Structure 1
Amino acid sequence: MRALVLDGSGMERYREGGSDGGSGAGRDTHRVTSAIAFSFARAGADRLALRDVLLASPAPGGALLRDLAHAKGHDHASKYLDRVWRRAVRVTGESAPIRERRDALAAVAERRIAIEVFPWRGQAGQTDRANLLYRLGLCERAGGFDHEVSQRQLALGIGAGESTVKRSDARLVAAGWLWRVEQGGSGKSSKWVLGKPRAGSADAVSPVDPNRQVGHEAPGYLDGVNRRQTSATVPAVPSDAPVELDFRLLTDLMTRDAFRARGLGKTAAEVVAALAYRDGQSAVELASSTRRHRATVHARLTPLMEHGLVVKTGELYYLADGLLDAPAGRPQGSRLPAWKPVDRWDDVAVDLGVFGTGYRQWCLYAFDRIAADDVYRRVREHARPARPAAELTDQDRAFLNYWSAAFEDADRVVGA
């Protein structure tokens, strides 16, 4: 923040990212001014100090605000700055300051709780939650809300298609859960920041909106048991029922081939995560733990029992013995999906005929990256400048020499 105020460095971060509305110079002014105001409030400064730095001094960080004062008057800019300052004081007073890595990790833990208890709805909500849970793992390793991830890496991480991830990111950005700092390109991932949903944005996340969803995702596209629930459907489970899942296990299961769309499905992964959280539940209790319809839970329990992942004793369901033992999985930090079975989940994927889906998807993305890099290389090699470089003629050089000599003579006269 000191560099932003004194040098104006990092201002492009606020120009490119953000989840707030608006566009153009007004949006950029608000983002930069708000960021500086929050830093002043965190440091215990007062409103007059903020006004002196941004309006009265030539500090580069206040250039956008001074442009506003020049365009609409000093009084308008002062009143606007007062509103930004009051909001900064209020928000900083409600949250603990982040001064070291321990505070940042505590803030990330709070955000994890907020994501886990949020009422995610429908299949789109299932994807959005998996999206954020995967990003949380990156944030916990990075020690803050800033993280880098590409859409293809995210698609592999949650076991979904690239187009599904793209729609999920758009929903989360619109609701305030995410904002993009820098657009990715050849050889680099996009830079993101994990945020908080704005007030009243619960209905904006994972909407069942026929105007924004196409094909099989549109409500009512299929009739019968596969029809997606709409807002008019009366849920069998109260909407405020707590979700009781082992979310870290759920994040790992989302990447497994066995729980992809043509396998057991994401809801089956939620059932396993619910039993990992609290083993020995009835179907009604599992519906409450997962916040899914009882018919959906029954439909997922049948294949889980057929493949020996879940056993039924009386009316209660339990995880099979040794199911959650540490698998002989890929090395820590490796992004390469398994290309041969390494644990029980992979054996189930082999039985279902879906094993290798993640590996084939990774190979496809790798070939796409190689092809794209080759295209970029050939474009750079054959690129030509937009216009020929200007070359000075002898006449130009003679004029410049005459001008510089005359300028030096005039400077000596003024100095004398």
Structure 2
Amino acid sequence: MPAAFSDRMRRLYVDGDADGHYMPFAKKKLADGRYGLVAGKDPRTASDHGHKVISALAMEAARTGMDRVAFHDLLLKGSGKGARHARDIAHRSGHDAAIIYIDRVRDRVREHLAARDGIDSRQDAHADLAALRARIERTPWKGTAGKTDFKNLSARLAVCEKAGGRRHTISERHLAEEAGCARETVRKSNERLEAQGFLRQLDSGSPTEAAAWLLLDGPVNAPSHGEATAQMPQAGGAMSGPEVRQPVSPAANLDSRTGARLAPEDAFAHLGLGGSGLAVVAALAEQDGQTRAELIGTATLSRATVYRQINKLAGLGLVRLEGELVHLTEQALDGIGATTADCETPVTSWEDAAQRLGTHGTAQRRRERHDVQRQAWQDEQQRLAERRRPGRHRTDPRRVPPAFTTVCGRPVDPATGEIIPGWRIATDGTWLWEPDPEEVTCLAA
């Protein structure tokens, strides 16, 4: 047994998968009649189980640098229980067939390791996420949909940094709360990002877990980050002539961390500052002191939108104008404005800014709506687990309501307070008819 193997891999080779970590799941009928995935020894999945163990050993061999012949001898000549699947192939189909199978597994493992781009530790994963973050921040996100996609990816990057890699798990409702938009808006954004190659959905989740996603690098032939081509005015115009050129807008440049932090605030809701206002703040957070013309390129906005958003932010005391340059005030990223020539009463918080913009309470209403939907989903899953149908648990009409009983336990009319003749309450709480003997004699006659 190679000494370079880890303790866990040595136990896997010697004792086999005793703990069932590599046991595949089979679809079986449960005790309550439903079908579910159950881990266990199933003849139909025994081969798959052995293949998973061999693949794990091949991964460890590749990590330790074991050569091809030594790996063959380890599986076919050793006596470890973890290599039983390879020895069974050699017994059934011959030694050459087992060698071909082992080489195929080994080659696939090496291809998988090569496709990981050298990410072997948490530090490598964070470096990879930093490179992806820089690519996203330098991509021009045009229009309202583009700003929503930027908020979507910024929120996902924050989740991925906590998870330690590009693979992450998040629900549409949670993502909508983090991005500060509606759930349907997030769903459409996910579809656009998948089509552009920035995102891939790995599974659909389960009744108790959200879907798994993977962040990608985006399109290979991506545009050059919003660089505009110099264009002459049309001939015959007032500014026509060979010496005149339109200025080239600078490349897109946003701070995604600021975008992820401020997106859930009510001030950046749809009817407030919106995604375009968030883009202006994120662009100034990345590089303070830009002109309006530079913000058109760095925030990927139109000229009219840049002017409108700067006027809004200046009126709240969050930016100040120094000649042609636009600067964030000292505590603008915390929602605290400053007294300037354009603002005499600056805002004191993002909540104050949302109240002035008329969007206060948007996030709270969204969370409450999502909580109701989550509770309804949990109730539905509980109902399905108990195999109940909606509307079946009603009050038994035979039972006497509390309003129809007196202190001594006799039935009474709640409207008049008089005792109802001929009826009494049985021991099980239901109505019992005991007519008067004279009334029975009269009916018999």
Query: TM-score range with shorter-chain normalisation?
Result: 0.5 to 0.7
> SS of 2:326's equivalent?
strand
Q: Residues 176, 282 of structure 1: CA spacing in aligned structure 2 closer, same or farther, 3 A cutoff?
A: closer
Q: Residues 280, 184 of structure 1: CA spacing in aligned structure 2 closer, same or farther, 3 A cutoff?
A: same
Q: Is the 8 A contact 2:155 2:175 kept in 1?
A: yes
Higher helix share: 1
Residue 275 (1) aligns with residue 277 (2): no
List gaps (5 residues or longer) in structure 2.
1-7, 26-47, 224-245, 337-346, 390-445
Q: 1:344 aligns with which of 344, 349, 353?
A: 349
Residue 106 (1) aligns with residue 165 (2): no
Paired positions, count: 313
Question: 1:160 aligns to what?
Answer: 181
Q: Is the 8 A contact 2:118 2:124 kept in 1?
A: no
Which aligned pairs between 1:8-47 and structure 2 lie closer than 5 A?
Answer: 9=21, 41-45=62-66
Q: 2:268 aligns with which of 237, 243, 259?
A: 259
Q: Which amino acid aligns with 1:375?
A: E
Distance in 1, Cα, partners of 2:280 & 2:264 = 16
Question: 1:197 aligns to what?
Answer: 217
Question: 2:169 aligns to what?
Answer: 148
Q: Is the 8 A contact 1:237 1:287 kept in 2?
A: no
> SS of 2:332's equivalent?
coil
> SS of 2:321's equivalent?
strand
String of CA shifts for 1:33-82, please: whole Å, max 9, x gaps. Answer: 9999877655435567789999999979999xx9xxx9xx9999899879
String of CA shifts for 1:328-353, please: whole Å, max 9, x gaps. Answer: xxxxxxxxxxxxxx952221211121
TM superposition shift of 1:249: 1.4
> SS of 2:327's equivalent?
strand
Q: Which amino acid aligns with 1:131?
A: N
Question: 1:134 aligns to what?
Answer: 155
Q: Is the 8 A contact 2:200 2:215 kept in 1?
A: yes
Q: Which amino acid aligns with 1:157?
A: E
Superposition TM-score, scaled by structure 1 size = 0.59
TM superposition shift of 1:256: 1.1
Superposed CA RMSD in Å reads 4.6
Q: Which amino acid aligns with 2:291?
A: S
Q: Is the 8 A contact 1:237 1:291 kept in 2?
A: no
Q: Residues 376, 295 of structure 1: CA spacing in aligned structure 2 closer, same or farther, 3 A cutoff?
A: same
Q: Residues 84, 277 of structure 1: CA spacing in aligned structure 2 closer, same or farther, 3 A cutoff?
A: same
Indicate the structure whose relative CO is greater, using CA pairs within 8 Å and at least 6 residues apart.
1
Residue 284 (1) aligns with residue 304 (2): no
TM superposition shift of 1:171: 3.3
Q: Which amino acid aligns with 2:171?
A: S
Q: Is the 8 A contact 1:53 1:62 kept in 2?
A: no
> SS of 1:382's equivalent?
coil
Q: Is the 8 A contact 1:275 1:281 kept in 2?
A: yes
> SS of 1:164's equivalent?
helix
Which aligned pairs between 1:60-79 and structure 2 lie closer than 5 A?
Answer: none
Which aligned pairs between 1:295-334 and structure 2 lie closer than 5 A?
Answer: 295-325=304-334
Residue 364 (1) aligns with residue 369 (2): yes
Q: Which amino acid aligns with 1:371?
A: A
Q: Is the 8 A contact 2:277 2:309 kept in 1?
A: yes
Distance in 2, Cα, partners of 1:42 & 1:62 = 21
Question: 2:436 aligns to what?
Answer: none
